[in-house]
Every structure is written in structure tokens, then in C-alpha cells.
Structure 1
Amino acid sequence: MAGQIHYEVFSRKTPQSGWVLQNALNDRDSAIAQARELLTARRAAAIKVTKEVFSDDTGEFRSYTLLTEGLPETKSKPKVVSPTEPVCTSPQDLYSRHARETIARVLEDWLRRQGATVFELLHSPVLCERLDVSTNDLTHAIQKIAIPESEETGASIHEIMRRWNNLSDKAINRVIGDGRKKVFGEIDLTGDIAAQVARLGQSPERGYAFGGAVARLTITDRNAGRKLMPLTRIATAIAGKPELKWALDVIETPLVELFARKGGLAEILGSDITLGQGLAFLTHMVSGEAIERLSAVDSAIGRALPAPPAHLEEFARLIRQGHFRDLRLQAFRNVLSELRGVKRLMPENPVGEIDLLRAMALALTAGSQQQVEREDISDAFIERSKMLVSSAFVEGLTRGAPHCLEEIERILWLCENVVGAANKKQAARWLMSSLTAHRFETDLRDPKRPAGQRLQLLALLQRRVSKASLGETDTEAAHARLGQIGAQIAGDIQLIPHILKGSKTPIQRITALLSFATGQAGPQGALSELAKAEVMKQLRAPDVRASLMGDPAALGQLKPMLVQAGLAA
């Protein structure tokens, strides 16, 4: 028996979404009209109207679809559950590079509190016992792995956590048990290190046994720099023995972890070393051979990049010999990371900081091994250049300049060494700000200084601007300003009339005028154009033509200058 009847309006916002109830009405026509209005107003991709009839017999509503309009439903593809097996299924799998990186991430806080690396954890019974009793830290670390794995595979998070708990228990018990069984070796740094390592190499799991011996030496100190000392001793002792290359590969793992650890780089370099000095040392590890080649050509490179301390120099030497490729890559990452940061390299010496960055850019680019490295280097120096053109840096760079010319010299040095179009543009703004300052014009037009010296200085500045690789518009603006000042100085001293009156011979007159026409003795611009016009006038004078015709050698010497000035072909 039928009872109450009403009509429900449903809509679907997109073809992939589900039906959503919009309204329930007693009137059929009103329900249909409201549904079609949703479709017409584009507030729904599809609409549906159903008739709901209450049955007194069953006590439930029966639904009948009266109308369906709009885009057809599109079923979303069901999530595919990954059929792959877990990455780590045994304790040995935790020693792979990917696994170590994951452990370093999920146990970062715990490792920092212990002053330890993942390598030490995986080879030290002492650290494994500490982790075993740190239930909360271990559980939280497993959760960090299990939750994303569950979302990716669709597996139960509890089942995944159970599996990882079992694996971590096995790994911890294995290291603790092997420690009791004396599986891990010992190395006496005062004895024959190479012979001791060779004996450990006879173990079935030589890398594991040797790793335990190394961890025993390094866990005694929390400081990354002091952890490095025994590794340096061992690496130096075995580097020249090809049969022990496997041991060098084992040592590289804790080395990379120490350089990658947060705060580890500062401990390795030392608190008394500035960031700039530290990056210079790391650059030796990345591009040591390139620094040697560049220093032979330009000694300033060697001065800007001094040799690192003995323990880092040893690793730089081994890298040059073809060892420790991963360590070189980590040092390279450290350099780029610091370049992209906001810390000043030499806070009290902005000029030296530019010198250092220039030397680093040359060395890193020359020592790069792949195109992707060169691209990363370029991006990092563009990012660093943003800081160099900031107001704080420029103010520090120009502070203490004895006169405006020194200030402009420093800004030009900045313009020559920043990279990136936007950074070049900002550097050009700083340059034009100094060139258009009243102080600059006053100093250059000071009659106390010889006019010839001032004009040659302006010509030199123009050449420096050209070398700075600024934008075309900015270069032209700087040239025009320098040329304007040059013309004013020439006007102050009546330069052209003075040359015409003071020259003893016509050839001397032409030579002096050409030196200004070509931009050698003064800036190009209004002054050089005046000098060119006067040269053309003089060449038409009978006495000048007679002098040149009577002295072919002098004419031959003048011809290159005439060509350079655009007055001859």
C-alpha cells in the first residue's frame, strides 16, 4: 500500500563526482524545473529527479528515476595497488644507500641527540642498544615510513608497521649479537693500519666487520671534525694499496654522512674559520686540479682559494687520484647549498668576497664533470648574485672608499662579477646612481688634477663598462654619461684649440686629435666626435696634406688610427 510521496533533486558537479541531494519537494513540476535551472545556469554537469514513494507495508521509501539530463557519468579509474615487494626484507637491506638516507631522515632528531651517523648506528652495538630502549623514537620513525607506504600500496598501516617493527628488531638484535660474538674488528691507529685492515678483509662480511671497527673509533666523539681524524688516518694508510680499495669504499660512507649532517660542516671546518674560507677549502675537494691549472695562469685564483687544512687536503688529494667520488659530490652539494643561502661569506671584506666568488666560479666551472653540474653552478651563482646587488652589500662595498672614483671602481668590479640578467640590471642601476651623482662630476672637473689624466680615466671607465657585460641600454647610458663628463672637461680647458695651437707639426696635431677620436686619450662621445670633425678638417688643409705626402712612414702609422676612428677604410 502506497503512502507519502515526494520528489528529490540531485546534481553532479563534474562527470566524475557523485550525486548530491539539492532539494526535496512535494510538487513534481517544481522539482523538474529546479533541476533544469541548475543545468541551465551551469551550476551542475548533470541533474537527476527521483520520485520517492513511502510503502506502509515495508516502512521504507522506494525510489523511481523520473529525469536524468547532462553529461554522462565518468567512472574514475580504481587505484592500482602496487604488486612490488617491500624494498627492505632483511637486515642486510638496511645498509643500502637508499635505506641509509631514509633512516637518516626518519631518525634525524634521535641521531642528532646521540651525535651519531647512520653508519655508526648500523655498526655499533652501543647505539643499537640505545635505540632499542628508545621505544617512542623508534615507533615514530616507523610511522613516518608506514603511513606513506600504506597510501601508496593500499595495504593496512598496522600490517606495514608490524613488518617494519620485525625488521628493525632483527637488525638491532643482529648488531648487538655480533658485538657479543666479537664479529666486529678493532683497529689500533698506532700500529700497522694497512695490515690490520687486510686481516679484516679475510672476514666473510669484510665490509660489515670493518665498518664495526671504524664505528668503534668514531662514536667516542660527538664532534664531526674529530670523528674525521681517525678516518683520515685510515684512508691515508690504505689509499696506495689497490687490494684495499674495498675498505676505502667503506670509509666513504661515514665521510659523506659527516659532510651531509646538519651542523657537521661547521664542525669539520672549525669555529675559527669563516664561511668563505670553508667554501674555499671545499672547492679544493671539488675542483682541486682546476685550481692548480688556473693558479698557474692567474695567481689571484690561488690567493683567493688557499689550500685547506691537512685533514681536508688529504681527502682533496685522494679525490684528485680518483677516489671518493661520492664525497666529492657531497662537497659539491655543500658548496651550492651555501651559495644559495643568505649568509655572507666574508662579512667584513666585501671586495674580498667578490674576489672569492669569482675564483670559485672559475674553479668550479673548470672542474665540472657534467653539463648538469655546470647548470647547477650557474643557478647557484645567480642566486648568490642577488645578495651581492642588495643595498646592504653595496653600501658595505662602497663604505670607506677614499673618493668617488674608487667607489665607482668597486661598483664596476661588482658589475663584472655578478651573473644573471636581473642582477646585471640592478648592478647597472647602482653604477648609474654613482655616475650621475653631483660628487662624481665635481671631482672629475676639479682643475687641481691634470685634465689629461682625468680624460684617460674616463676612457678607462668606459672600457670597464664594456667588459662588464651589462645590457645594451645600460651600457649606452653609462658610456653617454662618461662621454658627457669628458666633453665638459675638454670644454673647461679648451682642449681642441689647445691641441691645434700647441702642436709643433701637422702630424703631431693629427696624432693628438686621433687619440681622442679613437677613445684612447679620452672617452668616446661628444669629445670624440669633435675630435673626428677636426681631423677631417685638418686632412683637407694643404699644409697637413703636404706633410703626410712627404712622410709616407708617418701616414702608415696614422692609418690604423684613422680606420679605428671610422675615417678611413
Structure 2
Amino acid sequence: MAADTHFEVFLKKNRKAAWTLYEAQDDRETAIRLAHDVFAKNKTGSVRLTKEVYDEDARTFRSVPILELGEEKFASDEEKTGTASLPCLSPEDLSKPHARDTIRRVLTAWFERLQALPMELLHRPDLVENLEASGTDLQHAVQKVAIASAKDSDADVHGYVKQLNELVQMALTRIYQDARAKRLPDYPASKPFKEIVSEIHAGDQRAYLLRAAMANRLKSAKRYGDKLDALMDMGDKLDAEGPERNFALTEIDNYAAEVISFDAGMAALLGQCRDLGETLERLTCLFDGDPGAEAINYAPGVCKRMARNIGKGEMDACRNVVAKNLLAELQRPKRLRPSSLSEELRLARELAQKLVMSPDSLLPTDALIKAFAARSARLLHPETIDELLKHARDPDEEIELLLGLEENIVGEINKQKLAGYIQGLLGSQTITTWYLRGPSKPLERLASLTAHQRRVLKGHYPAREKGELASALDALGMKIIDESKILNAVEAGDRPALDKATGLLRLATAGALPAGQCAQDAQARAIRHLKSAGGTSESATAEGKAKLKQIQTMLVQLTPRANAA
């Protein structure tokens, strides 16, 4: 299966509930089996399985339903009898952001072939002629918009096609007429951009004329990278402040945002990236407006220039496009660092901390969490777990690596799945044998289990899984105690009873014994020595009272550990 294709299982627990993503899988057959298993456990609900294919042109996933189980089904379309009604009614409306974005999406291939922009098309007669002469490009674009408009309307496709054709003809006629009447500005290349802005700002139709003047200036910039450089130059040549600067910067921002809305334009901005991780790092630097960040050092100069302008709060439209790309790239089913899993984990953690912990309206927290949860789920694939564990020195390090993975994954279901991996490993014969008869001393192996248990208790596993993991580590510790008789050795000899009690409790409080049965066993043995005849008589002496005070302190310390376990 291609890397940009995966399968998602959705669950709707009842009629009133919403559809929620249960799990994503790379393999079709595995996903189908999972869908049936989920439905078997939720007979009152519904399950839907979709195939998600990444669309490079739209930079998003396209869903194809494969399987539906339960009462919730797709409704069939009824015959449409309504009247088509477009949000754009005049050629001027086509210059609005939403309309330009639609033009970009339906003519992406044509624009990228010419390295042109929607704003240029709306203000350059030569591009209009090229589009009309291209054959079916314009016709197909109209059909795409008509089909999309009819999908959520009570009017049919033909009605929208008719309206769209009329609107297109009005827009083309306007451009041709403005060109023949010489209403489109044609300033000499030697004229400073600041002067052009001043002249246009003082007259009527300011936005239309400035966009046309900029389109004419960009005519000589044949590549998207050249257009970005030219736009940044325009901004640099404006006055430091004032209404004319703000007026021109708005249009520069709109033009630049159109450039980077194309894949080829974004590639020209970011430059060559060695992997998805580097792409995300550079996008994050742009979003933060940080031109001095290390991740952007090897990016093209125009990338740093845009980051500087974004940092000044001057390119909001570009920042919006960067945010959309950032979310889209996060959702791609590719590794951040294919060559190094440790680097993958480090970068994912850094990105999550930087983006999720600094909320911004352009990057909704719920969308970020969903993206990182999906990325976390891919870290839990068996082949990724095998890659993580293959360089472990011993079984104890395998447990340590898996516990460390919890800090790098997002989502309750993912943490639940990770806990299942750890549980399975703890229950394996290989792990049990190593901890019972490993090369290190029994106390060292017990101390390792205690450290693992503390890490589990500090983690963010679901409550049930956290308790089960802590208990499993404690149970393994009890096997070591029973096998090695380590507590019997502490009790052996002719030392005073309070010294034996102190030694046992010190093991429990100093991190040598897991909380639970292990610590309780040591505590019970200590109390027996404390209550013995020797312990009672020793407690009456001055030296014994000092020991007893220390013992009481350690018993108090054990109480919260027992509650945590």
C-alpha cells in the first residue's frame, strides 16, 4: 500500500453520539477485521471504515467508504429541483479571497505550468488569452466548481454551469475592455514602486489598479521564487510607516499568499528539505516569525525575509497559508526522520511542545492534538516498536525504552495501546527469566523495577492501564524477592531487632523495592521485628528510642507510596 494511503475505522456508539476516529491502519485486511471486532463490541452502535488517499493537488485526504456496519448509513441523494445561486455575482467578486482560492484550486495544474497566480489572471489580458486558448482547462474548472456547488445545494449541476459560464464571460470581457481602453496601469520598469503606490493611492479604484500594476511588474518574474523575491523587494522599498505603506503591504501579502498556496510556490519558499521533519521545522519558524532560528539557516533568503515580515505582524495572509500547510504536513502519513527513530521522537516532542503549548487561533488545539495523535499511532506499529528495541542492551533497557515512548505519544487510545505492549513484554518468559536470574545483583534488578514503576505512576496512561502496569512491575519484583531470598538475608544474623526493621524499611523507602506487595512485605517483616520481644525491650532504651523515631518516619513515608500503588 502506498505511503500516502491508510484506512480509518470510525465508531458511533449510538444514534445521538458523534462519529469518532477509533484507530487508523496501514493494511486493508487488518482494518476490515478491526472494524468487525469493534462492531462486535458495540452492537448498539455503528462502525464505518474508510480508505484515506492523500491528494497532492488539494493537499488533503480524500475519503472513500469501504465498509459500514450498524444502522447509520449514507443517505441517497434526492432529485434536485432548486435554482442555482452563486456567492459571486460580478467580476469584482472574483477578486475576493474565497473566490481567488477557488480559482487556484480548480486551475492548479494550469497555474503551476505557467508559474502564474489567480490575482495575475484577473488583471493580465495575456494570461486570459492563454487560458482561453488552452482548450479544456477553463471548461473543466467550471465543471469542478459546479459539481462542488451542487453537492450541498438543492439545484443541479447544469444550473451552476450556466451561471458560472456567464460570470466567467463577464470577467473576461472586463479585462479585455480595460486593456483596450488602457485603463490597466503600465508603468515603466524604472519607476520606483513607492511612487506607483503614491499615485494609485491618491485616485479611485485603488485596490484594482494596484493589483494590476503589481501583476504587470510580476510579468517578468517567470518562476514562483522570482515572484516572491520581487514581492519582498516591493515591500522593502515602501516608506517606514503611513497609510500608503499599509495599503500596499495588504496587496503584497495577498500576492505572496497566493504564491505559497501552490505546492511549487511553497517549495520555492522553503527550499530543498531532506525530510518531512525539516519541512515542518521551517514552516514552524515561518509561523512564529523567527528568521534567526537554526532550522531556517539553510532555507532560501526569501524564506528568512518572509519570516522577518511575519514577525513584524505585516503578512497575516501568508501566515494563514503557512498554518494550513503546517497542519496538512503534520497529518501526512510519513516519518519525520526516516533515518533515525530517536530523532523522530525528539522532533515530534519539540514540535508538539512548541505548537500545542502556544495556542493560536490559526492552529486550533483540537486539530493539533488530533494530528499528533494520528502521528503517535504510527509510532506504535509493530515494525516501529521493533526498530526502537533492536539496539537495547538487555531486557531492562527494552522496558526503559518503551516507557520513554509514552512521553512522545498523544491520545488516550495510543497510551492504552503502548501500555498493552509493555504489559505483554513484562509477561514474557524472556523478561521474567532475566529479572529473576540476570547478571546484576537482585537489589539492582529490584531498583530498576522500582524506577520503572515510578515512571509509570508519573506518566499519563489511562487510570486502569497505569494501575495494571504498576502491579505487573510489583509482581515481578515479588518473584525476585522470592527467588533471591533477599529480604531473608536482611533479617538474618544476630543484629538487634530494630536494626533489622530499619534495614528492611530503608530498602522500601530508598527506591530499592517497588510499591505494592514488595514494599508491604518489607514493612510487614519490619513490624514483626518491631513488635518482637527484642524489639520491645530495645525500644525502651535511649538508643532504641532514637532508632524507633527513625522507623516511624520511614513508615510515614511508605504511606503515600502504598496509596499510589
Q: TM-score, normalised by structure 1?
A: 0.72
1:325-336 equivalences under 5 Å are 325-336=316-327
Please tell me the residue identity of whatever aligns with 1:453. E
DSSP-derived class of the 1:425 partner: helix
* Matched-pair contact (CA < 8 Å) for 2:498–2:547: no
- Relative to structure 1, the CA distance from residue 498 to residue 177 in structure 2 (aligned partners, 3 Å threshold; closer, same or farther) is farther
Asked whether the 8 Å contact 1:532–1:565 carries over to 2, the reply is: no
Question: Which of 175, 185, 199 is the aligned partner of 1:183?
Answer: 185
**CA–CA distance in structure 1, aligned partners of residues 537 and 510 of structure 2:** 26
CA distance in 2, matches of 1:215, 1:551: 88
Return the offset for 1:552.
Answer: 7.7
Aligned CA distance change for structure 1 residues 335 and 205 (closer, same or farther; 3 Å):
same
Q: Contact 2:83–2:159 (CA<8 Å) still a contact in 1?
A: no
1:142-188 per-position Cα deviation (integer Å, ceiling 9, x unaligned) = 3444567687567866853552342132244156548x666044667
How far has the Cα of 1:250 moved from its partner?
A: 1.0
212 and 165 in structure 1: CA distance in 2 versus 1, 3 angstrom threshold:
closer
Shift, 1:125, TM fit: 4.1
* Alignment partner, residue 527 of structure 1: 518
> How far apart, in 2, do the equivalents of 1:462 and 1:239 lie?
63
The whole-number CA distance in structure 2 between the counterparts of 1:406 and 1:114 is: 56
Aligned amino acid, residue 211 of structure 2: G
Distance 1:432 1:131, change over 3 A: same
Deviation at 1:258, TM superposition (A): 2.9
1:322 and 2:310 aligned: no
The superposition leaves residues 306-343 of structure 1 with CA deviations (integer Å, 9 ceiling, x where unpaired) of 77845434433433433323322222221221222211
- Counterpart check, 1:378 vs 2:369: yes
State the distance in 1 between where 2:362 and 2:185 align. 45
Q: Deviations over 1:389-433 (max 9, x none)?
A: 112322222233333333322222222322223222221222223
Once residues 494 and 273 of structure 2 are traced to their aligned partners in structure 1, the CA distance between those partners, rounded to angstroms, is 63
1:258-315 deviation per Cα after TM superposition (whole angstroms, max 9, x unaligned) = 33323543443223432101112212333468x99xxxxxxxxx99x77784543443
Relative distance call for 1:505 and 1:428 in structure 2 (3 A) is same
Match of 1:119 in 2: 119
1:542 pairs, out of 514, 536, 544, with: 536
In the alignment, what sits opposite 2:287?
286
In 2, the alpha carbon distance for the partners of 1:330 and 1:202 equals 31
Query: What does 1:368-407 correspond to in 2, within 5 Å?
Result: 368-370=359-361, 373-407=364-398
Q: Looking at CA atoms only, which structure, 1 or 2, has the larger radius of gyration?
A: 1
Corresponding residue of 2:554:
558
Aligned residue type for 2:511: Q
Q: Which residue of 1 aligns with 2:95?
A: 95
The DSSP-based 3-state class of the residue aligned with 2:527 is: helix
Partner of 1:464: 455
Match for residue 231 of structure 1?
A: 231
* Offset, 1:461: 0.8
Q: Which amino acid aligns with 2:554?
A: L
CA distance in 2, matches of 1:505, 1:209: 98
Report if aligned partners of 2:124, 2:175 keep a CA contact under 8 Å in 1. Answer: no
Amino acid at match of 1:256: A
Task: Measure the CA separation in 2 of the matches of 1:306 and 1:502.
Answer: 67
Out of 141, 160, 182, the residue aligned to residue 163 of structure 2 is 160
TM-superposed CA distance for 1:247, in Å, is 1.7
In 1, Cα distance between equivalents of 2:204 and 2:348? 49
Structure 2 residue runs without a partner (length 5+) = 1-77
The 3-state SS of whatever aligns with 1:369 is: coil
Count of residue pairs the alignment pairs up: 476
Residue 413 (1) aligns with residue 404 (2): yes
Post-superposition offset of 1:457: 1.6
Equivalent residue runs for 1:289-308 within 5 Å: none
Distance (Å, rounded) in 2 between the aligned partners of 1:409 and 1:556 = 33
Aligned equivalent of 2:276: 275
CA distance in 1, matches of 2:80, 2:347: 57
Contact preservation (8 Å) 1:513, 1:534: yes
- Counterpart of 2:470? 479
> Does 1:346 pair with 2:337?
yes
CA separation in 2, counterparts of 1:248 and 1:442?
69
- The CA deviation at 1:233 is 3.7
| TM-aligned CA distance change 1:354 to 1:261, over 3 Å | same
Looking at structure 2, the residues matched to 145 and 550 of structure 1 have their Cα atoms a distance apart, in angstroms, of: 86
Determine the C-alpha separation between the residues in 1 that align with 2:459 and 2:202: 61
1:260 aligns with 2:261: yes
Residues of 2 paired with 1:88 and 1:139: CA distance? 18
- Whether the aligned pair in 2 keeps the contact of 1:518 and 1:524 (CA below 8 Å) is no
Query: Does the C-alpha gap of structure 1 residues 98 and 371 become closer, same or farther in structure 2, counting only changes over 3 Å?
Result: closer
How do 1:16-31 residues align onto structure 2 when only pairs under 5 Å count? none
Deviations 1:83-115 (A, max 9, x none): x6x544443322111210221133223223223
After superposition, the C-alpha distances for 1:21-48 in whole angstroms (9 at most, x for unaligned) are xxxxxxxxxxxxxxxxxxxxxxxxxxxx
Secondary structure in 2 aligned to 1:342? coil
Larger deviation, residues 465-474 vs 499-508? 499-508
For structure 1, which segment, 97-106 or 553-562, has the greater mean C-alpha deviation from structure 2 after superposition? Answer: 553-562
| Residue in 2 that maps onto 1:367 | 358
- 1:199-251 C-alpha deviation (Å, 9 max, x unpaired): 55445444444434544565556654454333334445549524312222112
Instruction: Please show how residues 438-453 of structure 1 align to structure 2 within 5 Å.
Output: 438-446=429-437, 448-453=439-444
- Inter-CA distance 251–398: structure 2 relative to 1 (3 Å threshold): farther
Change (3 A) 1:395 1:124: farther
Q: For residue 128 of structure 2, what is the amino acid of its counterpart?
A: C
How has the CA–CA distance of structure 1 residues 288 and 463 changed in structure 2, closer, same or farther, with 3 Å as cutoff? farther
Distance in 2 (alpha carbons) for counterparts of 1:122 and 1:371:
28
Check if 1:130 corresponds to 2:130. yes
Instruction: Determine what percentage of the aligned residue pairs are the same residue.
Output: 26
Give the counterpart letter for 1:417 in structure 2: N
Equivalent pair of 2:539/2:545 in contact (CA under 8 Å): yes
Deviates more, 1:308-317 or 1:131-140: 308-317
Cα displacement (A) at 1:377? 1.2
The letter for the 2-side match of 1:229 is D
Corresponding residue for 2:176?
Answer: 173
Report the 3-state secondary structure (helix = DSSP H, G, I; strand = E; otherwise coil) of the residue aligned with 1:130: helix
Q: CA deviation at 1:504?
A: 6.7
CA RMSD in angstroms comes to 3.8
Q: Secondary structure at the match of 2:321?
A: helix
Alpha-carbon separation, structure 2, partners of 1:152 and 1:548: 91
2:106 is aligned to 106
User: Residues of 1 paired with 2:419 and 2:562: CA distance?
Assistant: 29
Query: Which region of structure 1 is more displaced relative to structure 2, 388-397 or 541-550?
Result: 541-550
TM-score, with length taken from structure 2 = 0.72
Rounded to whole Å, the distance in 1 between the matches of 2:504 and 2:189 is: 81
Counterparts of 1:411 and 1:249 in 2: how far apart (Å)? 50
